[in-house]
């Protein structure tokens, strides 16, 4: 079957099998390996991708469901050579160790900050509760999301 979607801002058409998940298509057919797969049962959030700006667990989301939609992976959020403010904030706050959870964390945080540009800590914790990290601890991740929120608000103010 043919799958047409807008992937990281570009229209693409791919061959795929109807039973393939979005994670399989993104990793195996598009070679976007920033998206990780761990639990495969929609528990850990490592496979988070954005579909029309909302987070989905790509391990259980059929690629078929993404037809005609905008799909964003970690590879699509920076601006050329420049990191996205959330990526920068994760670096600045040392909010990762092995990095396995980080692409999913950053994409979930992006969706959160789009919906709520100045979230409370409680909102962040609640929104991010589907994204698990086994090694960093959640405090630096919370600080990074807070920092990213500030950076993004500042950028929005400076935009002409
Ligand atoms: S791999 Fe998809 S939620 Fe864990
Ligand atoms: S940084 Fe290792 S699982 Fe989160």
For the domain bounded by 2-76, which CATH number is listed? Answer: 3.10.20.30
Which of 62, 58, 77, 66 minimizes the C-alpha distance to 6? Answer: 66
Atom of ligand 2 nearest to the CA of 99: 1
All CATH 1.10.150.120 domain ranges of the chain, comma separated, are 85-158
Per-residue pLDDT for the chain (160 aa), expressed as one digit of tens each?
Answer: 999 999 999 999 999 999 999 999 999 999 999 999 999 999 999 999 999 999 999 999 999 999 999 999 999 999 878 999 999 999 999 999 999 999 999 999 999 999 999 999 999 999 999 999 999 999 999 999 999 999 999 999 998 7
Q: What angle do CA 30, 36, 41 make, to 5 degrees?
A: 110
- Every domain of the chain with CATH number 3.10.20.30 lies at 2-76
Instruction: Select from 38, 103, 135, 144 the residue to mutate for testing ligand 2; criterion: most ligand atoms less than 8 Å from CB.
Output: 135
Q: Ligand 2: residues within 6 Å at CB? A: 96-102, 133-136
pLDDT on residue 11? 98
The predicted structure's pLDDT at residue 159: 84
User: What is the model's pTM?
Assistant: 0.96
Report the pLDDT value the prediction gives residue 25, as an integer from 0 to 100. 98
pLDDT value of position 55: 98
Return the CATH number of the domain spanning residue range 85-158.
1.10.150.120
Nearest ligand for residue 100 CA:
2
39 lines ligand 1 (CB under 6 A): yes
């Amino acid at each position: 079957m043919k799958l047409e979607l807008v992937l990281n801002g570009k229209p693409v058409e791919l061959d795929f099998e109807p039973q393939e998940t979005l994670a399989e298509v993104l990793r195996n057919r598009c070679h976007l390996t920033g998206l990780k797969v761990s639990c495969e049962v929609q528990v850990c959030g490592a496979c988070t991708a954005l579909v029309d700006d909302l987070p989905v667990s790509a391990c259980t989301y059929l690629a078929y469901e993404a037809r005609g939609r905008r799909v964003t992976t970690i590879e699509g959020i920076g601006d050329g050579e420049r990191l996205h403010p959330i990526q920068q904030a994760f670096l600045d706050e040392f909010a990762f160790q092995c990095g396995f959870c980080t692409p999913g964390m950053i994409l979930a945080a992006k969706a959160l900050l789009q919906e709520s540009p100045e979230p409370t800590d409680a909102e962040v914790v609640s929104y991010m509760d589907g994204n698990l990290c086994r090694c960093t601890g959640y405090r630096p991740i919370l600080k990074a999301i807070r920092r990213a929120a500030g950076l993004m608000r500042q950028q929005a103010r400076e935009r002409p």
